[in-house]
Amino acid sequence: MQILFPFFSLLLFSTGCQQAPAKQEAPRPVIVRKPARDTTVLPVPPKPYSRLEFEKKEILKAAPGTKSVLFNSAGTKLYAMNLEGMSVYEFDQASRKVVREFKFKPTRGTGWDYVKSQPIASFQEKPVEACFSHADKILWVSLHNAGGIVPVRLDTLHGNAAKPGGGQKIKPVTVIYPGTAKRDSFHVPLIETGKTPKVIARSADSKYLLVSNWHSYTISVLEMDETRSPYGRIIATVPVSDIPRGIAVDDKNKKSFVAIMGGSSLAVINNETWKTDTVLPVLHSPRHIVMDTSGHLFVSYNSIGTIACIDAGSGKQLFSAKTHAQPRTIVLSKNHKFIFVTCYTSDLVDVYKINADNFEKVASLPCEGHPVGVDIYEDDTKLEAWVCSYKKGELNVYTFKKK
């Protein structure tokens, strides 16, 4: 099967700077200065690969109840949202060590027992999912029981300058540097979106942010502004038919696809009117949804142990595959030819190659402690899948050789 990779070329122009002659009786010689040497580093296209060969597994200590993980765009740092630990860990990819912990101050709140389907006493500051915006300067984190999301400035901690009073709700954060006595502290603004916020997604230009609110049956739409705290304001609230979770933003066609996990559909939102345009019927309990560059949606169906590829334009299911029990988070490889699926109650990570008309099983890797979140690091020779185990407080790093 032929694999195509987009290659991008940048044409750089350098111009000399000529000094104008001074106004004198006798004209001075013209001095031509050579242009400075261009030090711009051009992006190197990834090397093609068509196979993955499992090499090793590493287990890293994490915090209790890690719910999701997210790499920055450079792949140098991974952020782990620790729901029960009420913190965010910043891992260094190369050393595998936690370099910073963003610890929230707990306050009493009401949570939800997903087994008994009833409210329970809990704390507000429980990170669920996250999303980067503005070239990874801001990390947006959903707080499970706080009814909203918080932006954390990573480019400069001094940018986290929210202050008590003035009508803006805030959350105190302490930054811990493991192995040292150093501490930083600040407040971040809480932007109230809806009850039990989950997935956060953004438009490619970092202008809009979308949040799925589990118990409110709504999608919050924020317009972002990196220059002014709280860095986002709600401009629309889109009602949906049942519990929403996953979101995939289609910038090209100005649409957003929302997985209605409480039902059997995808809500299609118009990204100009911020209203639901269409409802696509799908299989039962779609949880997570991602999109490639060819107009294909990939969906995990939690209750029926299935993943599927769907044509985004028509809503037609193109092909599907059975997974182990309770597929949760899915993520595509950088070339969009492999998909990784965390299977929660099965304690497995399923890996498939995406062919033209089917999913081809590559591996099912043991992952104790109920795997839930996954993200991928790649370089020219290897691929690493970083998976969090919710029950064990661990990160499992699976390394594959590219072939």
Least confident of 5-19, 77-91, 95-109, 311-325: 5-19
The reported pLDDT for the residue numbered 15 is: 36
CA nearest to 359, candidates 324, 391, 323, 328? 323
Over the chain, what is the mean pLDDT? 90
What is the pLDDT confidence band of residue 165, given thresholds at 50, 70 and 90? confident
What is the pLDDT confidence band of residue 12, given thresholds at 50, 70 and 90? very low
16 within 8 A of 30, measured Cβ to Cβ: no
Amino acid at 394: E
The reported pLDDT for the residue numbered 203 is: 98
Query: What is the Cα–Cα distance from 394 to 89, expressed in whole angstroms?
Result: 12
358 pLDDT more than 80: yes
20 pLDDT more than 50: no
CA nearest to 98, candidates 148, 65, 61? 61
Q: C-alpha distances in angstroms, 294 versus 32, 76, 111, 247, 291? A: 50, 27, 39, 17, 8
E strand or H helix at 267: strand 265-270
Query: What is the Cα–Cα distance from 281 to 303, expressed in whole angstroms?
Result: 16
Neighbouring CB atoms inside 10 A of 92's CB total 13
pLDDT in tens, 25-56: 444 444 444 444 434 444 455 689 999 999 99
Query: What is the Cα–Cα distance from 307 to 288, expressed in whole angstroms?
Result: 10
pLDDT in tens, 174-228: 999 999 999 999 999 999 999 999 999 999 999 999 999 999 999 999 999 999 9
The reported pLDDT for the residue numbered 164 is: 84
Question: What mean pLDDT do residues 96-107 have?
Answer: 98
pLDDT in tens, 334-351: 999 999 999 999 999 999
Task: Please state the pTM of the whole predicted model.
Answer: 0.88
What is the pLDDT confidence band of residue 140, given thresholds at 50, 70 and 90? very high
CB neighbour burial string for 98-115, b if at least 16 within 10 angstroms, e if fewer:
bebbbbbeeeebebbeee
Domain formed by 47-402, architecture: 7 Propeller (2.130)
The reported pLDDT for the residue numbered 33 is: 42
Instruction: Output the furthest CA–CA distance in the chain (Å, rounded).
Output: 94
More reliable by pLDDT, 71 or 117? 71
The reported pLDDT for the residue numbered 31 is: 42
DSSP code, position 378: E
pLDDT in tens, 270-321: 999 999 999 999 999 999 999 999 999 999 999 999 999 999 999 999 999 9
The reported pLDDT for the residue numbered 23 is: 39
pLDDT in tens, 225-274: 999 999 999 999 999 999 999 999 999 999 999 999 999 999 999 999 99
The reported pLDDT for the residue numbered 44 is: 55
The reported pLDDT for the residue numbered 386 is: 98
The reported pLDDT for the residue numbered 381 is: 96
